[in-house]
Structure 1
């Protein structure tokens, strides 16, 4: 674990990316905008620079073949998106007594431009009391890092307004693939 922060700082230095913000020890770390396959590497650089070991939910299809062991070694947790409940419950049980716990999620759920974010990050934060920690990558400014933490208030529209305000100027690595932070549930406020 000691070598990871040094690797992260070295990679940031040689690639010319700037890291800002500090990751709290516990939270649901939302990485956005999710516009490229490089976003996984970016989120690792953020958490490793902050001396944290993430748990990252990644669709299970990515774990077959040569990338499976790499994903597992770096905190990847295979997720069956058709039946995510068991995996999420196991992770949350592990988080209950842990002094440090970072569950990393790509709330957009895809690298392509979409209409809505997935609401899992919000639901998990509500159920556990863990804060939503806003992580970001902004390709045009070559900046990545950690923004504010938000404890869900139960007013999904107000909470998402705060999240939208933070991500308003964050473009991702491929800005054309950016999805506006919006949940389907905002229309009926029924989270």
Structure 2
């Protein structure tokens, strides 16, 4: 994959230090360990605020993970587009069913190392059910799912266990969502 802020010399070190200091100043603690896999999908949940992005980037630096993330394509327009890509962004047109899952699977298959953060809600707005793209990407690419979280109530963020999809989406989703049942997003009413 392309070069990002996470593997840019000097800047990476500075942002790691800044992230560690910032998280401590805001009272946040790390929990869990960096996933022990070369390729995996990261569930980024709960996703209820723009602050989630800032904290996820800070935690990625702290855990020393080169993370790619998916964001709506409008974030990548204009002069900030190249900056968003440098931050690890992958533009997504949410209005089109354009084989996005297969594109991400193909990317996994062509890389030796890759971590992609996908918020299962697909948006910061309240949703009735999670989108299944994160699951289908992981299952089709044969990679595990890292259960990452930001709990704003406890001010804790990090990683829970790795989850290997079995192909039974409904049964697996129950187990995955069970991990998040006690998590509190920045805006709790938006987290289903």
**TM-score, length-normalised on structure 1?**
0.85
The structure-2 alpha-carbon separation of the partners of 1:96 and 1:116, relative to structure 1 and needing over 3 Å to count, comes to same
Partner SS for 2:34: coil
Q: Structure 1 residues 154 and 175 mapped into 2: Cα distance closer, same or farther (>3 Å)?
A: same
User: 2:130 maps to which residue?
Assistant: 117
Residue 118 of structure 1, CA deviation: 0.8
Equivalent residues in 2 for 1:74-89, closer than 5 Å: 74-83=87-96, 85=98, 88-89=101-102
2:177 counterpart SS class? helix
User: Among 45, 54, 67, which residue is 1:54 paired with?
Assistant: 67
Q: Which runs of 5+ in 1 are unaligned?
A: 180-191
- Residue 9 of structure 1: CA displacement? 1.2
1:188 corresponds in structure 2 to none
Partner of 1:10: 21
CA distance in 2, matches of 1:7, 1:66: 25
Change (3 A) 1:90 1:155: closer
Unaligned 5+ residue runs, structure 2? 1-6
TM-score (norm 2): 0.85
Q: CA deviation at 1:94?
A: 3.3
CA distance in 2, matches of 1:120, 1:149: 17
Q: In the TM superposition, what is the alpha-carbon distance from 1:169 to its structure 2 partner?
A: 0.5
For residue 96 of structure 1, report the CA deviation from its aligned partner: 2.2
Cross-structure match for 1:32: 45
- Displacement of 1:147 in angstroms is 1.0
Stretches of 4+ moved more than 6 A in 1? none
